[in-house]
Protein backbone atom coordinates (compact mmCIF):
# COMPACT_ATOMS: atom_id res chain seq x y z
CA UNK A 1 0.00 0.00 0.00
CA UNK A 2 1.17 3.53 -0.80
CA UNK A 3 1.07 6.21 1.91
CA UNK A 4 0.16 9.77 0.92
CA UNK A 5 0.46 12.59 3.46
CA UNK A 6 -2.69 14.70 3.63
CA UNK A 7 -1.13 18.07 4.37
CA UNK A 8 0.33 21.23 2.90
CA UNK A 9 2.73 21.74 5.81
CA UNK A 10 6.28 21.45 4.49
CA UNK A 11 7.87 20.51 7.82
CA UNK A 12 5.54 17.55 8.27
CA UNK A 13 6.25 16.27 4.76
CA UNK A 14 10.02 16.53 5.22
CA UNK A 15 9.93 14.55 8.47
CA UNK A 16 8.01 11.67 6.92
CA UNK A 17 9.92 11.74 3.63
CA UNK A 18 13.22 11.26 5.47
CA UNK A 19 11.90 7.89 6.70
CA UNK A 20 10.67 6.88 3.26
CA UNK A 21 7.06 6.95 4.46
CA UNK A 22 5.67 9.34 1.88
CA UNK A 23 4.79 8.02 -1.58
CA UNK A 24 2.81 11.14 -2.44
CA UNK A 25 0.89 14.08 -0.99
CA UNK A 26 -2.72 15.22 -1.14
CA UNK A 27 -3.81 18.80 -0.64
CA UNK A 28 -7.15 20.60 -0.82
CA UNK A 29 -8.37 24.19 -0.42
CA UNK A 30 -8.79 23.74 3.35
CA UNK A 31 -5.19 22.52 3.75
CA UNK A 32 -3.90 25.37 1.58
CA UNK A 33 -5.77 27.82 3.81
CA UNK A 34 -4.25 26.20 6.91
CA UNK A 35 -0.75 26.53 5.44
CA UNK A 36 -1.24 30.26 4.93
CA UNK A 37 0.71 30.13 1.68
CA UNK A 38 0.12 30.70 -2.03
CA UNK A 39 -1.16 27.52 -3.70
CA UNK A 40 1.32 27.63 -6.58
CA UNK A 41 4.29 28.35 -4.32
CA UNK A 42 3.59 25.71 -1.68
CA UNK A 43 2.58 23.07 -4.22
CA UNK A 44 5.79 23.60 -6.16
CA UNK A 45 7.81 23.15 -2.97
CA UNK A 46 5.92 19.96 -2.09
CA UNK A 47 6.56 18.58 -5.57
CA UNK A 48 10.29 19.17 -5.10
CA UNK A 49 10.26 17.09 -1.90
CA UNK A 50 8.44 13.99 -3.12
CA UNK A 51 8.74 12.13 -6.40
CA UNK A 52 5.25 10.61 -6.24
CA UNK A 53 1.90 12.20 -7.10
CA UNK A 54 0.98 15.49 -5.47
CA UNK A 55 -2.75 16.24 -5.66
CA UNK A 56 -3.65 19.88 -6.26
CA UNK A 57 -7.35 20.70 -6.38
CA UNK A 58 -9.31 22.87 -8.80
CA UNK A 59 -11.85 25.26 -7.29
CA UNK A 60 -14.23 26.01 -10.17
CA UNK A 61 -17.55 24.22 -10.64
CA UNK A 62 -17.83 24.30 -14.43
CA UNK A 63 -16.00 21.76 -16.58
CA UNK A 64 -14.29 24.27 -18.89
CA UNK A 65 -12.98 26.25 -15.93
CA UNK A 66 -11.84 23.09 -14.14
CA UNK A 67 -9.94 22.04 -17.23
CA UNK A 68 -8.22 25.43 -17.47
CA UNK A 69 -7.33 25.37 -13.77
CA UNK A 70 -6.15 21.78 -14.02
CA UNK A 71 -3.84 22.56 -16.91
CA UNK A 72 -2.46 25.54 -14.98
CA UNK A 73 -1.82 23.41 -11.88
CA UNK A 74 -0.17 20.71 -14.01
CA UNK A 75 2.40 23.26 -15.17
CA UNK A 76 3.80 23.39 -11.62
CA UNK A 77 5.58 20.03 -11.90
CA UNK A 78 5.45 16.71 -13.70
CA UNK A 79 4.13 14.85 -10.65
CA UNK A 80 0.95 16.89 -10.21
CA UNK A 81 -2.32 14.96 -9.99
CA UNK A 82 -5.15 17.33 -10.75
CA UNK A 83 -7.92 16.92 -8.19
CA UNK A 84 -11.50 17.35 -9.41
CA UNK A 85 -14.81 16.79 -7.59
CA UNK A 86 -17.06 13.84 -8.35
CA UNK A 87 -19.71 15.81 -10.20
CA UNK A 88 -20.80 15.62 -13.84
CA UNK A 89 -18.61 18.61 -14.62
CA UNK A 90 -15.78 17.04 -12.65
CA UNK A 91 -16.09 13.85 -14.70
CA UNK A 92 -16.04 15.86 -17.93
CA UNK A 93 -12.89 17.60 -16.75
CA UNK A 94 -11.39 14.25 -15.73
CA UNK A 95 -11.95 12.81 -19.19
CA UNK A 96 -10.34 15.78 -20.92
CA UNK A 97 -7.38 16.05 -18.55
CA UNK A 98 -6.60 12.34 -18.69
CA UNK A 99 -6.78 12.52 -22.47
CA UNK A 100 -4.16 15.27 -22.16
CA UNK A 101 -1.98 12.69 -20.39
CA UNK A 102 -2.35 14.18 -16.92
CA UNK A 103 -2.95 12.33 -13.66
CA UNK A 104 -6.39 13.02 -12.21
CA UNK A 105 -7.65 12.38 -8.69
CA UNK A 106 -11.45 12.37 -8.53
CA UNK A 107 -12.32 13.37 -4.99
CA UNK A 108 -15.34 13.48 -2.66
CA UNK A 109 -16.50 9.97 -3.59
CA UNK A 110 -19.20 8.55 -1.33
CA UNK A 111 -20.73 5.68 -3.32
CA UNK A 112 -19.69 2.72 -5.44
CA UNK A 113 -21.69 4.13 -8.35
CA UNK A 114 -19.68 7.33 -8.22
CA UNK A 115 -16.45 5.32 -8.17
CA UNK A 116 -17.59 3.37 -11.21
CA UNK A 117 -18.20 6.61 -13.09
CA UNK A 118 -14.77 7.93 -12.12
CA UNK A 119 -13.11 4.79 -13.49
CA UNK A 120 -15.11 5.03 -16.71
CA UNK A 121 -13.94 8.64 -17.07
CA UNK A 122 -10.33 7.47 -16.85
CA UNK A 123 -9.44 8.70 -13.35
CA UNK A 124 -5.95 7.85 -12.11
CA UNK A 125 -7.23 7.87 -8.53
CA UNK A 126 -10.64 7.87 -6.91
CA UNK A 127 -10.85 9.19 -3.36
CA UNK A 128 -13.63 7.68 -1.21
CA UNK A 129 -13.92 9.64 2.04
CA UNK A 130 -14.17 6.94 4.68
CA UNK A 131 -14.05 9.16 7.75
CA UNK A 132 -16.89 11.38 6.60
CA UNK A 133 -19.05 8.31 5.98
CA UNK A 134 -18.32 7.09 9.49
CA UNK A 135 -19.43 10.51 10.76
CA UNK A 136 -22.97 9.86 9.51
CA UNK A 137 -23.08 6.25 10.75
CA UNK A 138 -22.26 4.64 7.40
CA UNK A 139 -19.44 2.14 6.95
CA UNK A 140 -16.53 3.65 5.06
CA UNK A 141 -14.79 0.28 4.88
CA UNK A 142 -17.80 -1.27 3.17
CA UNK A 143 -17.48 1.35 0.44
CA UNK A 144 -13.78 0.54 -0.05
CA UNK A 145 -14.65 -3.16 -0.33
CA UNK A 146 -17.44 -2.49 -2.86
CA UNK A 147 -15.17 -0.37 -5.05
CA UNK A 148 -12.40 -2.98 -4.88
CA UNK A 149 -14.83 -5.69 -6.04
CA UNK A 150 -16.17 -3.60 -8.91
CA UNK A 151 -12.74 -2.55 -10.14
CA UNK A 152 -11.44 -6.11 -9.97
CA UNK A 153 -14.51 -7.44 -11.76
CA UNK A 154 -13.83 -5.29 -14.81
CA UNK A 155 -10.10 -4.68 -14.69
CA UNK A 156 -10.30 -0.94 -14.09
CA UNK A 157 -6.86 0.57 -13.55
CA UNK A 158 -8.09 3.48 -11.41
CA UNK A 159 -6.38 3.32 -8.02
CA UNK A 160 -8.47 3.40 -4.85
CA UNK A 161 -7.14 6.21 -2.68
CA UNK A 162 -8.73 5.81 0.75
CA UNK A 163 -9.16 9.37 1.98
CA UNK A 164 -10.34 11.04 5.17
CA UNK A 165 -8.51 8.36 7.15
CA UNK A 166 -8.61 9.45 10.76
CA UNK A 167 -7.41 6.43 12.70
CA UNK A 168 -4.76 3.74 12.44
CA UNK A 169 -7.59 1.23 12.08
CA UNK A 170 -8.79 3.04 8.97
CA UNK A 171 -5.33 2.46 7.49
CA UNK A 172 -4.97 -1.22 8.41
CA UNK A 173 -8.53 -2.04 7.35
CA UNK A 174 -8.05 -0.27 4.01
CA UNK A 175 -4.88 -2.29 3.46
CA UNK A 176 -6.64 -5.57 4.29
CA UNK A 177 -9.44 -4.79 1.84
CA UNK A 178 -6.98 -3.87 -0.89
CA UNK A 179 -7.02 -0.10 -1.27
CA UNK A 180 -4.08 0.94 -3.42
CA UNK A 181 -3.32 4.11 -1.48
CA UNK A 182 -4.29 5.69 1.81
CA UNK A 183 -3.94 9.39 2.55
CA UNK A 184 -3.92 10.56 6.14
CA UNK A 185 -2.68 13.46 8.23
CA UNK A 186 0.95 13.04 9.34
CA UNK A 187 -0.22 12.72 12.95
CA UNK A 188 -2.17 9.57 12.05
CA UNK A 189 0.69 8.11 9.99
CA UNK A 190 3.07 8.57 12.92
CA UNK A 191 0.71 6.68 15.24
CA UNK A 192 1.11 3.52 13.15
CA UNK A 193 4.27 2.68 15.06
CA UNK A 194 2.65 2.91 18.51
CA UNK A 195 1.85 -0.18 20.55
CA UNK A 196 1.70 -0.49 24.33
CA UNK A 197 3.40 -3.91 24.26
CA UNK A 198 6.31 -2.53 22.24
CA UNK A 199 6.79 0.18 24.85
CA UNK A 200 6.47 -2.31 27.70
CA UNK A 201 8.89 -4.78 26.12
CA UNK A 202 11.48 -2.09 25.46
CA UNK A 203 11.20 -0.86 29.04
CA UNK A 204 11.87 -4.40 30.32
CA UNK A 205 14.85 -4.96 28.03
CA UNK A 206 16.47 -1.69 29.05
CA UNK A 207 15.89 -2.40 32.73
CA UNK A 208 17.62 -5.78 32.44
CA UNK A 209 20.42 -4.35 30.32
CA UNK A 210 21.18 -1.78 33.00
CA UNK A 211 21.61 -4.62 35.50
CA UNK A 212 24.34 -6.19 33.36
CA UNK A 213 26.55 -3.15 33.83
CA UNK A 214 27.68 -3.46 30.22
CA UNK A 215 28.05 -0.93 27.40
CA UNK A 216 28.05 -1.38 23.63
CA UNK A 217 29.79 1.91 22.87
Structural domain boundaries in the chain:
2-212
The span from the CA of 54 to the CA of 69, in Å, is 15
83 given a catalytic annotation: yes
The yes or no reply on domain 2-212 and CATH 3.10.310.30 is no
Cross-strand partners of 55 = 26, 81
Indicate the pLDDT class of residue 110, thresholds 50, 70 and 90: very high
Predicted pLDDT at 6: 98
Indicate the pLDDT class of residue 137, thresholds 50, 70 and 90: very high
Asked if 165 and 146 count as a contact pair (C-beta separation under 8 A), the reply is no
The span from the CA of 88 to the CA of 184, in Å, is 27
Mean pLDDT of 128-133: 97
Among 83, 177, 173, 192, residue whose Cα is nearest residue 131: 173
The active-site residue, picked from 62, 83, 207, 215, is: 83
For residue 80, the surrounding DSSP H or E stretch is strand 80-85
Three-state SS at 216: coil
Q: How far is CA 91 from CA 45, 83, 151, 209, in A?
A: 28, 11, 17, 61
Instruction: Give the CA count within 13 Å in the CB-facing half-sphere of 119.
Output: 22
Predicted pLDDT at 121: 98
Report pTM: 0.95
Going by the DSSP 8-state scheme, the letter that residue 61 receives in this structure is S
pLDDT, tens digit, for every residue of 12-66? 999 999 888 899 999 999 999 999 999 999 999 999 999 999 999 999 999 999 9
The span from the CA of 163 to the CA of 185, in Å, is 10
Amino acid sequence: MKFFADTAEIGEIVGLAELGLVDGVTTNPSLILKSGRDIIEVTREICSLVSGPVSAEVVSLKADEMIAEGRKLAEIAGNIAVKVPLTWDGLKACKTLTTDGLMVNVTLCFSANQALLAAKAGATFVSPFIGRLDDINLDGMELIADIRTIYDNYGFETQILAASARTVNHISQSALIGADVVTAPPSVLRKLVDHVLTDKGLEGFLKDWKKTGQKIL
